[in-house]
């Protein structure tokens, strides 16, 4: 007769407790290595280089402090026994001082500290290694502009100084958001534009430096960087427990302790004195569990019913999800414990926003990678949205589909861990309904690039995987942008998987977001549900990208409203300039706007058979405007009848 799951759980607990007792016994009987004892002493010392005092974790140097007391990437060279230099992303920085909290340093670019360093026309822009460092809140940018081509008149309004050695003119500005100005991209094409981090206070003290000496003075003060939050958090926890921070051969964090032991996180100073007490307590627990186990076996073998409270009850949703994971086989993503999720998010400290079915928090893995952690709410149905996400996105690998790093499943605690997208979702860059919005709007070329990237991601989901994936919730909110504004499709909670040979799928319910749902999804009289349903949602989104507003309602006066595709279609027929988002400046931009509008209108055709495939959409976006024809006017509109278009209203 098979033992119920309670027996397996009790056996597992008994085995774990036995292992713990064995470990404690081993720790008490065996002496710690001399290496660990030496590391505790070595890592407690501080060192100095020139005027820099109290050099400690995570900094280290081959000549004065071992790597076991620091971290890879934080090596300091004490040059000429007086200049502490650290390399970050291939660039040398001089360490000017260490913050009072020990959680960061003030540094300055070594090349710019040299004589005439600011006059080097080959000066390059650099960035930090964000897995190790973050810019402190005290930092702002000084923009230096070199080697401008003839005719670059836009730089004439900027401050400048002339270099003595080569007579070169260097332009500069302390305007913090200079790169967001309209002329900045033009200057970047004609000049070498370099942004140098400096202290905000140094600019505030001298807001209008008028020459090379003043600019050099600002640069020589350096700027402050903080160590990564994960690194700082672990070291603080270790030191609070009386330990010394360090690392092992694989650069994993270690906490060296006074009792000559090392731990992954914190020390337990009293464990030597209390091990015998723990052993007694655990022994008693093991004996009790042994007795309970014996009783359960006797009851089961004699068909005696046990009270339900003896058994760990799982909900149907839990069982369905665990069953799915077992049946799915080996997943190519990591399964985290909920304690791991709390640690990587620092107990859900920074909320990024709200996604489908849950809140999203910023986190950082132990290797320094930033992630976005979606903490799912109580699941509806049988945890379908969780299964959809893990089953669909774990099958993908494409530059325009967000990467699932891992997941957590502990009872009703469910979380999904994604790669971090620093620019957030597309929606905040395209809607201009809020006059106080400060998010910079995107250029037309960038909008076209984003539209093509999303199309390529959908083409991959529809035809590039062994199993076809239908998303069913394509909208700006679910398109994430990385630091380079590369779009990535996210939020697969409503996705469905089907065989590639299947053209039409069956669904028991409508799914999607109002305004983006294809007509056949909520009414089968319009046709079968297929990958063309995603094409419809994509088309609506493209029209929103051009129009800079929601697709259902467009205010044409204080009192009237009109269905957006009808509005835009009428302007297209009338030949009105399509400067919908933030105005069209050039003929090239007008061509991009018209092309995106035509593609969007083709994609939202009421009959799914009239919509192009995503492969055809990509060809249309890459082709010429002359090759595109105006599609039939989509006759479907919201249940609320739109008012007639006002001839006096301009799209501009």
* Residues recognised as catalytic: 473
Residue 421 half-sphere exposure toward CB, CA atoms < 13 A: 26
380 belongs to an annotated ligand binding site: no
Q: Cα(225)–Cα(139) distance, rounded to whole angstroms?
A: 8
Calpha distance 86→393 (Å, rounded) = 40
Q: What is the DSSP letter of 60?
A: B
- The tokens describing 442, both together, are 């995107």
Question: Which CB contacts under 8 angstroms, 24+ apart, belong to 382-388?
Answer: 382/316, 382/317, 382/320, 382/321, 383/317, 383/318, 383/320, 383/321, 383/414, 385/356, 385/357, 385/493, 385/494, 386/321, 386/414, 386/416, 387/320, 387/321, 387/324, 388/492, 388/493, 388/494, 388/495, 388/496
Of 227, 230, 228, the residue nearest 238 (C-alpha): 230
Tokens of 82: 């007086």
Q: How many CB atoms lie under 10 A from the CB of residue 530?
A: 21
| CA distance linking residue 256 with residue 244, whole number of Å | 5
* Helix/strand/coil percentages in the chain, nearest 5: 35, 20, 40
Cβ atoms 645, 565 nearer than 8 A: no
Q: What span, in angstroms and rounded, lies between the C-alpha atoms of 385 and 371?
A: 20
Q: Using CA atoms, how far apart are residues 49 and 106, in angstroms rounded to an integer?
A: 15
- Of the candidates 251, 142, 255, 163, the residue with the CA atom closest to the CA atom of residue 207: 142
Nearest to 540 by CA among 607, 619, 599: 599
Q: How many contiguous H segments (helices) and E segments (strands) does the chain have?
A: 18, 27
Contact (Cβ atoms closer than 8 angstroms) between residue 61 and residue 45: no
d(CA 318, CA 64): 54
Q: What is the spatial distance between Cα 133 and Cα 125, in angstroms, rounded to a whole number?
A: 17
What are the phi and psi torsion angles at 222 (to 5°)? 70, -165
Binding residues are: 374
Binding-site residue numbers for ATP are 374
């Amino acid at each position: 007769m098979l033992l119920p799951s309670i027996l397996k759980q009790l056996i597992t607990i008994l085995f774990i407790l036995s292992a713990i007792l064995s470990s404690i016994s081993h720790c008490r009987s065996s002496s710690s290595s001399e290496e660990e004892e030496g590391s505790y002493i070595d890592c407690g010392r501080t060192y100095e280089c020139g005027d820099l005092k109290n050099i400690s974790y995570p900094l280290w140097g081959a000549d004065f402090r071992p790597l076991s007391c620091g971290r890879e990437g934080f090596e300091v060279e004490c040059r000429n026994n007086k200049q502490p230099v650290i390399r970050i992303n291939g660039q040398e920085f001089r360490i000017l001082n260490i913050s009072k909290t020990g959680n960061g340093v003030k540094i300055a670019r070594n090349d710019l500290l040299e004589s005439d360093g600011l006059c080097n026309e080959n000066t390059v822009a650099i960035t930090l290694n964000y897995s190790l460092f973050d810019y402190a809140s005290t930092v702002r940018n000084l923009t230096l502009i070199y080697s401008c081509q003839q005719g670059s008149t836009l730089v004439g309004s900027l401050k400048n100084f002339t270099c003595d050695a080569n007579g070169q003119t260097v332009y500069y500005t302390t305007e913090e958001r200079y790169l967001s100005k309209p002329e900045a991209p033009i200057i970047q094409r004609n000049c070498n534009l370099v942004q140098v981090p400096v202290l905000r206070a140094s600019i505030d003290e001298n807001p209008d430096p008028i020459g090379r000496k003043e600019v050099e003075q600002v640069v020589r003060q350096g700027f402050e960087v903080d160590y990564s939050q994960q690194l700082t958090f672990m070291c603080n926890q270790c030191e609070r427990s009386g330990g010394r921070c360090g690392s092992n051969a694989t650069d994993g964090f270690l906490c060296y302790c006074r009792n000559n032991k090392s731990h992954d996180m914190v020390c337990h100073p009293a464990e030597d004195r209390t091990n015998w007490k723990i052993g007694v307590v655990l022994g008693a627990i093991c004996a009790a569990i042994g007795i309970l186990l014996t009783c359960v076996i006797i009851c089961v073998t004699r068909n005696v019913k046990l009270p339900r409270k003896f058994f760990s009850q799982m909900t149907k949703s839990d069982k369905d999800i665990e069953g799915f994971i077992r049946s799915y086989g080996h997943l190519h993503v990591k399964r985290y414990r909920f304690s791991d999720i709390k640690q990587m998010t620092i107990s859900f400290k920074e909320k990024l926003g709200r996604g489908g079915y849950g809140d999203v928090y910023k986190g950082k893995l132990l290797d320094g990678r930033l992630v976005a952690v979606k903490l799912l709410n109580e699941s509806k149905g049988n945890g379908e949205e969780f299964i959809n996400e893990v089953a669909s996105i774990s099958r993908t690998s494409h530059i325009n589909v967000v990467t699932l790093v891992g997941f957590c499943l502990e009872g009703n605690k469910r979380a999904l861990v994604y790669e971090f997208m620093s620019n957030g979702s597309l929606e905040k860059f395209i809607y201009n309904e809020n006059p106080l919005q400060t998010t910079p709007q995107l250029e037309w070329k960038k909008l076209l690039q984003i539209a093509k990237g999303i199309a390529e991601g959908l083409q991959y989901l529809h035809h590039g995987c062994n199993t076809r994936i239908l998303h069913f919730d394509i909208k700006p909110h679910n398109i994430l942008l990385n630091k380079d504004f590369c779009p990535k499709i996210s939020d697969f909670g409503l996705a469905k998987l089907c065989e590639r040979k299947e053209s039409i799928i069956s669904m028991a319910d409508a799914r999607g977001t109002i305004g983006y749902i294809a007509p056949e999804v909520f009414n089968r009289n319009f046709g079968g549900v297929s990958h063309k349903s995603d094409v419809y949602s994509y088309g609506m989104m493209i029209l929103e990208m051009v129009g800079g507003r929601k697709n259902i309602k467009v205010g044409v006066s204080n009192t009237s409203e009109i269905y957006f595709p009808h509005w835009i279609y009428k302007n297209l027929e009338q030949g009105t300039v399509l400067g919908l988002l933030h105005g069209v400046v050039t003929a090239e931009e007008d061509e991009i706007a018209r092309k995106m509008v035509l593609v969007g209108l083709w994609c939202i055709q009421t009959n799914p058979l009239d919509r192009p495939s995503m492969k055809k959409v990509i060809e249309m976006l890459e082709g010429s405007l002359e090759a595109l024809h105006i599609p039939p006017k989509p006759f479907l509109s919201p249940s609320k009848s739109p008012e007639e278009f006002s001839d006096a209203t301009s799209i501009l």
